Structure 1
Amino acid sequence: MTAPLALSARLSRIGAASVLTAAAVTVPALLPGAAQQAGAATLAAKALGVAASKQGSPYQWGAAGPNRFDCSGLTLYSFRQAGRKLPRTAAAQYGSTTHVAASARRAGDLVFFHSGSSSSSVYHVGIYAGGGEIWHAPKTGARVRLERIWTRSVWYGRV
């Protein structure tokens, strides 16, 4: 196995969270001013891991964990477990994040589904997992799951 292939195989076994954690520890020492970005990456990786760990939990309107969730309840719970407090509703969470372009989105960013041009049109939220997918609590009768983003009517926010 060539060195790049060996490294690639090793990274896929380690997992994204470990890579982000390693970057959070290493990058600040190498690049002045990178500590804040590394801290945000670690926070996002932790929240993403919490959301993924809730796979299969049932949806319940108004629930914010630890065993049942609605969409904003899952994001609130995930980031709270990672060490950051978010507001309760999807629209309020959108208002509390740093808005980022789709081209700049990263795993752990929040994905806000909207039906108009104002923040009051936000109706759903999930956590971006990469590859065009989100972890979310979709609707009554469904369970927390990883799913492909199904519309272009989304905005991204970084916690």
Structure 2
Amino acid sequence: MAQHRRQISSAKRNIAAASAVIAGATLLAPGTANAAEVRIPNSPVSVQVPGIENVPGIAAIPGIDMWIPSLSGQDSDGDVAAAIAAVKAIPGATSVPGFSAFIADVESRYAPAATQYSATAAAPIEEVAPAIQEPSAGQKIVDIARSKIGSPYVYGAAGPSAFDCSGFTSWVHAQAGKSIPRTSQAQASAGQPVALSDIQPGDVVVYYGGASHVAVYAGNGTIIDALNSGIPVGERPLDMMPIHSVVRF
């Protein structure tokens, strides 16, 4: 675990360096009164994006306040699909690592399904209700993991209110009806190996050469994990740490 903490410290320094580069680029641009800070959740990396805070109904986008802290507590009424389309059209919104993946994931889960119609020559057009699809086993795991975002990291904890990294992945799988090993190394060995190119939501991503950290793949290039002491459970970019392997249970 000491090795894991040293590796996390290195990852934090790398994030801080990336933040400094982005901050430097921001300082070179002309000041904009309506710019809002878009920040990678649970990290110091952020970008000032002009105009994004003024998108009508932006506070209605689920989870947007994790990326734009200034929206926290604002009225969440609004057209989610229209707000997402407006955010995607803003120059600079895609420059924050992981933000485009977050928007794409929300759009796939919350954008209204297109109305379907059927017609015959002898009958008027009738509206057909869209089929209701049950979420996949992997998506259930992701939904359970998201429900614990913000929970504190505690070494040796395995839920339900605090977690370490492998305690989090094992607890999430248990809630989905899957019993998996408790430690990160055992999870890396017991799961079915999956190529990174075939990764799916719900898979366990193993990090570092010693398989000392694990996370739940959330889709669209992001993971959900219990990262380290002082950092709560959160959604982060898939490639923010060296990937050891991917396994599926």
Q: TM-score, normalised by structure 2?
A: 0.47
Aligned to 1:95: 189
Give the secondary structure class of the aligned counterpart of 1:155.
strand
Aligned to 1:154: 244
Aligned to 2:221: 132
- Stretch deviating more after TM superposition (54-63 or 124-133): 124-133
The one of 145, 149, 174 equivalent to 1:51 is 145
Q: Which runs of 5+ in 1 are unaligned?
A: 1-8, 16-20, 25-41, 116-120
Q: Does the 8 Å CA contact 1:59/1:68 hold for their aligned counterparts?
A: yes
Give the secondary structure class of the aligned counterpart of 1:22.
coil
Matches of 2:230 and 2:150, distance apart in 1 = 11
Q: Does the 8 Å CA contact 2:205/2:214 hold for their aligned counterparts?
A: yes
Greater fraction helix: 1
Aligned length in residues: 125
Give the secondary structure class of the aligned counterpart of 1:156.
strand
After superposition, residues 107-126 of structure 1 pair within 5 angstroms as: 107-115=201-209, 121-126=210-215
Q: TM-score, normalised by structure 1?
A: 0.71
Deviations 1:78-132 (A, max 9, x none): 00000000111011011111101111001111100022xxxxx101000001122
Matches of 1:47 and 1:66, distance apart in 2 = 15
Identity over aligned pairs, percent: 35
Aligned to 2:200: 106
Q: Which has the higher contact order (CA 8 A, sep 6+)?
A: 1
Give the secondary structure class of the aligned counterpart of 1:122.
coil
